Structure 1
């Protein structure tokens, strides 16, 4: 007890003297020349009882305590351990920045110049300091002082002149709100200075000043690594991200029953083999096409992960072999068997036909893909037709002599990918009339699809199975094993959170699901009684899968009942929202004190 009181007294004394975590509140402490850190002299700052790793751990804990506002606890920890949080000069630098003492901050920065890993960093750090000073002067209505700062301090640095020109244009803004918006700046105060300090810290070696939020970053990296190794991770729920109990105290573990592997619905509305199925990009609709020449549009219920029949698109002359949703989820291209010389484009909101593409009785248009604008598309077939069309059914461009098996358009909006009868995928630029080889297989490519990034392609190859290709490096990444793939056209898909999973039908009547880093399936789904022709994964509700089969049924798969009704959706900016549309932060970041992320 007496020893604890002594430690407490030492910490209190250090705090009263302004000596916290390696710094004094003034520029330096006067006395016998010994610099004090956390109430401990320079000679005593490293305890002989702690090795390097232990000292680093103490510093990380101390930093986290400070970020939580527990500064006295951090001071006591540093005092008792004999460690220091930051180098004294770095601590003075931080203090001056947070207090807006720009001249003193510049002087402290000069002390640190010999400790920087890169000499060029000094100019960037000085520029960031002066930028903050300039903006604070402008916001405070001190236009002349701001102009002097810009002319005599910022401009002579001859650094980031594009930003300097932007800063000079702010001189004419009298409204502080407009100034903050134009400068992409949060305004004078603790928050913007803290953001500035976070940026400045990246230039300092960790031995001098710890990187921002280092402990939290390490924990997040550990969580991400555990998620990567989890075969069933497919959700943003607390229990699955942080551990089996929603806590960092247990290892991450996703229960098998939370993964989509349970039959929720068996739909028998089609009266013949079902060949194709596609969820709409917004996740709210499912389209299924059949040998019976009809397409059924289904409404998705995100809570129950079930579908209800909305309407049927009919009037097609042959069986439906391919479906393509427009990016805006309002239109659907319907491609028919090879014997048909036409394709249809439907308005899926009203159930009305928009147009028909029919150029010649000899045409065969068995596949299609949309441009990003949802107003143009490409289509083709095995008889050598390859067209670019609009919503009036007019052919805008054509490419002669290409026997097309499957189509996709890359994210650049220009490159059309087409698999052909030569076991390859080639890229075509209609505007520039150029083409080039991308992938070469040894067997027929029956179908292929791209992931959301456009960097990877998933191929169903005759007599081989499912192959994953990296389109950037044009290399085969992985061959997935287990399924039976002959010469039937089977459509596979990417799916799950961040599209970490691969799903495919099979001629042995099963659905196979792989983690994208594993060759063997993590889940095999049984239920269909004949060949499974297509599997589609809901792009918004990752716990929902649909499969279609020659047994004339559509099966909806999801988690076990106790794991339904808590689906989260992934938006394009990386946030998640619950199935009722309310946005929520990913639980991965829920425990952070200051928004740090990996």
Structure 2
């Protein structure tokens, strides 16, 4: 919007403006009340007047910023003015307004903004009407938001009578659904300010609530009148996200070191983990499973040779070891062997407890996200919930599938279990309410099917039945996706929010063996899987493009892969060739700790610990191999 010519003569010259100075030498005006962001400060909201001549208005031909561009000059200049004000270049913004003839916002918008931020609510409603917001544009909804803020501020100030007046005479007439008013009316009973803020999800009049109100009111005012906050930055963020989506090898954290406005973003493929930097050769038989500790410093592996090795602590079972799970603080490692579950102290290698509650092979172990316990699943069709002390707390009873794997979403709302249909005509009728755990079974259709085994109250149930054999499941860090290995020769990505198949990944070989895949990379951008052909396969998660087939393992299946949770450029794989391989970029990773550095540090740590204990022989013979072990009784 153009600045009227008449305003030039009426605007006082800023005392800080020097016409001969360059833009970078202009001194910004003092911040109003400490606020400049988004044009919210009093001194920068249309009240900071452009300087009088010698700044002359520049008239340019056309409406676009370039002859071959579709970008409107007025919109562009107004966004630049907003950005300059946001970051504190107040005089530069005023100069640009004078030179271009465009203003960021009219005096009416500035007045409305001031009324909201200063809490002059009657004036705010009048200012809203002067902006031309009509009933069709949501005038009543906007008034409701203003009255709600007024109501909460009266309660905060202890003015209960005034708050009650607002509730009865302003909020109630504006809202047709009494059920929506009930939570607000119940706030009158709050005993103190902290209780009020907690129940209302509101931080008070003198914090950020008025600014959030202004953002919420923005949706009712045309953006051409009132520009959304930080609009230029939003556009740049959108451009960055688009560039990331086009970079199929993207594996860099969101820092200024990895992103520049001067050039389009692309990740160097040499920084992708595709080179074997370490081979761990201690197991004497097929290695079936592996898991990183949460701190990324230790790797646990389980083998057909009846051993679990925490590099560097070894523990032993009487049978081949199937699955592993670290506690959240990495002090306890769970392992399963046949129908037994063992809890190990990872520092001493001592078996804390042996649990025998299943009647068939325990096929899945998972700690719950709050660390209060863990869940076990078995081929006996049972899912049990255990406390962190190893005592059983609950059970789902008999499920409809012989469980091969399970996982709990990080937000602790869903349990996802996969397996084969029990095909038992004597299956008991499921017990409990309509809540169910997310399960995928082998019933031969792709439609969500109801299943209601008894569950703890905090877990939802959503049952999905699939054809084929399902061998493993992993959950994305945002709790939205489940990655399911689906024999033969497919990996499925399921959207847990919609209950629909989102992607398929193909190329690997899986027919007879249990293969465990994982998400990987800085944002879970990749899907990684072993294969019965002895290779490791890597896909781009969202585009389902096969990026690499990594060779190096010997004959037999690559059974499991695991990405280091603290190093986005390192993952591990284990194989029937008795080995574990660590994969990193050529020359080592750009972030985190390389395997060689980690190996030597771990060895030095163990030597230091042994010397401190008086033994003096703690350094391992090989850097990644520990000496401590404990026999199964």
User: TM-score, normalised on structure 2?
Assistant: 0.69
Retained in 2: the 8 A contact 1:546–1:554?
Answer: yes
**What whole-Å deviation, never above 9, does each CA across 1:137-184 have from its counterpart, x for those lacking one?**
x4xxxx6xx5575355565212575675577567966xxx99988984
Match for residue 348 of structure 1?
346
Judge conservation of contact 2:399–2:453 (CA < 8 Å) in 1.
no
The answer to whether structure 1 residue 379 and structure 2 residue 377 are counterparts is yes
1:127 matched to which residue of 2?
Answer: 147
1:92 pairs with 111, 121, 131, which one? 111
- The number of residue pairs the alignment matches comes to 516
Change (3 A) 1:154 1:84: farther
What is the rounded CA distance, in whole Å, between the counterparts of 1:506 and 1:260 in structure 2? 18
Pick from 456, 460, 466: which aligns with 2:491?
Answer: 466
Contact conserved, 1:294 with 1:313, CA < 8 A, in 2?
Answer: yes
Q: In the alignment, does 2:507 pair up with 1:482?
A: yes
Q: Matched residues in 2 for 1:98 and 1:47: separation?
A: 37
Of 232, 235, 240, 2:252 maps to 235
What RMSD over aligned residues (CA atoms) do the two structures have, in Å?
Answer: 4.4
**Following the alignment from structure 1 to structure 2, what is the Cα–Cα distance between the partners of residues 167 and 392?**
42
Query: Deviation of residue 326 (structure 1)?
Result: 3.9
Deviations 1:224-258 (CA, angstroms, capped at 9, x unpaired): 1111221122221536642xxxx211111111122
Q: Cα 1:168–1:182, aligned 2, differ >3 Å: closer, same or farther?
A: same
Aligned-partner SS, 2:523: helix
Residue 539 in 1 paired to residue 574 in 2?
A: no
Deviates more, 1:223-232 or 1:552-561: 552-561
Cα shift readout 1:377-399 (whole Å, capped 9, x = no counterpart): 22212xx4525253556695441
- Verify the 8 A CA contact 1:130 1:149 in the aligned structure 2: no
Q: Tell me whether 1:551 sits opposite 2:549 in the alignment.
A: no
**Match runs of 1:442-521 below 5 Å:** 443-521=468-546
8 Å CA contact 1:364, 1:380 repeated in 2: yes
Asked if 1:367 corresponds to 2:364, the answer is yes
Q: 1:293 to 1:347 in 2, by over 3 A?
A: same
Q: 2:466 aligns with which of 440, 444, 464?
A: 440
Question: How many angstroms apart in 1 are the aligned matches of 2:251 and 2:541?
Answer: 12
Answer yes or no: is the 8 Å Cα contact 1:347–1:354 preserved in 2: yes
> Are 1:431 and 2:457 an aligned pair?
no
CA apart distance, 1:449: 2.5
- Going from structure 1 to structure 2, the CA distance change for 1:192 and 1:529 (only over 3 Å counts) comes to same
- Residues 1:222 and 2:227 aligned together: no
Cα distance change on mapping 1:92 and 1:329 into 2, 3 Å = same
The structural deviation recorded for 1:445 is 1.9
Shift of 1:319: 1.5
1:431 shift after superposition: 2.1
In structure 2, what is the equivalent of residue 81 of structure 1?
Answer: 100
SS at match of 1:497: coil
Give the stretch that moved more between structures: 420-429 or 525-534. Answer: 420-429
Which runs of structure 2 are paired with 1:315-326 in the superposition (5 Å)? 316-326=317-327
What is the aligned partner in structure 1 of residue 407 from structure 2? 408
Bigger shift: residues 497-506 or 102-111: 102-111
When residues 240 and 68 of structure 1 are mapped into structure 2, their CA distance, relative to the original with a 3 A threshold, is closer
Residues 45 and 84 in structure 1, CA contact (< 8 A), matched pair in contact too? no
Question: What is the SS of the residue equivalent to 1:234?
Answer: coil
* Contact preservation (8 Å) 1:240, 1:252: no
Contact residue 406 and residue 416 of structure 2 kept, 8 A: yes
- Give the alignment's TM-score, normalised by structure 1: 0.73
